[in-house]
Amino acid sequence: MNLPHLDTIVKEKTGIEVASYVPLSGGSISSAYKAVLSDSTALFVKTNPQFSDMFLKEVNGLRELEKSGSLKTPAILYADSELLLLEFLQAAQITNRKIFFEHFGRAFASLHRTTSDMFGFYEDNYIGSTPQKNTNRTTSWKEFYFSERLHFQFLLAEQNGYADKRLRSVFHQLEQQIENLIPEHHESPSLLHGDLWSGNFLSMEQNNAAIFDPAVYYGNREADLAMTLLFGGFDSVFYDAYNEEFPLQQGWKQRMDLYMLYHLLNHLNLFGKGYYRQVLETMQGLL
């Protein structure tokens, strides 16, 4: 790890020397380490971001989530263009799956009760390593979701050579149908984690959940739930508890594919043609 100032920063922030660094697996966007201090406590370290403002944007997202007081997020110790230093969250085994996902679902609903007057966010950030456009804020969810989410990702797919004639034709048909696919909800924009899947939460002591690696913005809360379903979904107790705490609009399950599409397009842009068929079939299923 070629960051000579890291040891100095850790000492400044904690008053304790670093004893060792342990590489952590699972990150495809940057390098991650567990910094073990001389008193055996640990910190979480990220290095090698793909963009110079990536860690600063992540910190701002964590701070926005923290404001809601709904779910545990890692404490922020330091961030610059090369380095992110966070509290190391120690995972605990889920001792009661039903209780864990019930607590998690209710807390996630509480997060979504934090609202704004406009869709978007005060700054752009990232979804994975893809820029996520938030600053064209609007009071129209239909306008925001199509323009800043679907259309933006589709243009990237064209630039990356993944949007052939067939995909362009189906996307154009989808554009014509967007008015019918998204009903008028009259709900205030909710604070969204933006990228919540099984890799971006962990279980803590007393069957509580912690969340991290956000792609924060204010949007329709159904979009956040759709991401949780993308890779098989969470325990059904999670969704039942969420809906009891903050009832969803009628027909929400039928809109999940529409909101998954943003993330599928992003996966196409990040990881390549292996996602082409799923993107195409999802679009066709919406028509």
Half-sphere exposure of 152 (CA within 13 A, CB side): 19
CA distance 124 to 50: 15
- Helix or strand (DSSP H, E) at 250: none
Count the Cβ atoms, other than its own, within 10 Å of residue 88.
17
Q: Are 219 and 185 in contact (CB under 8 A)?
A: no
Task: Specify the amino acid at residue 114.
Answer: T
- For the question of residue 195 being annotated catalytic, the response is yes
Question: What is the 8-class DSSP label of residue 120?
Answer: B
CA distance 166 to 154: 13
Give me the helix-helix angle, 236-245 and 97-112, nearest 10°.
Answer: 40
| Catalytic site residue from 195, 213, 235, 240 | 195
Count the Cβ atoms, other than its own, within 10 Å of residue 108.
28
The catalytic site residues sit at 195
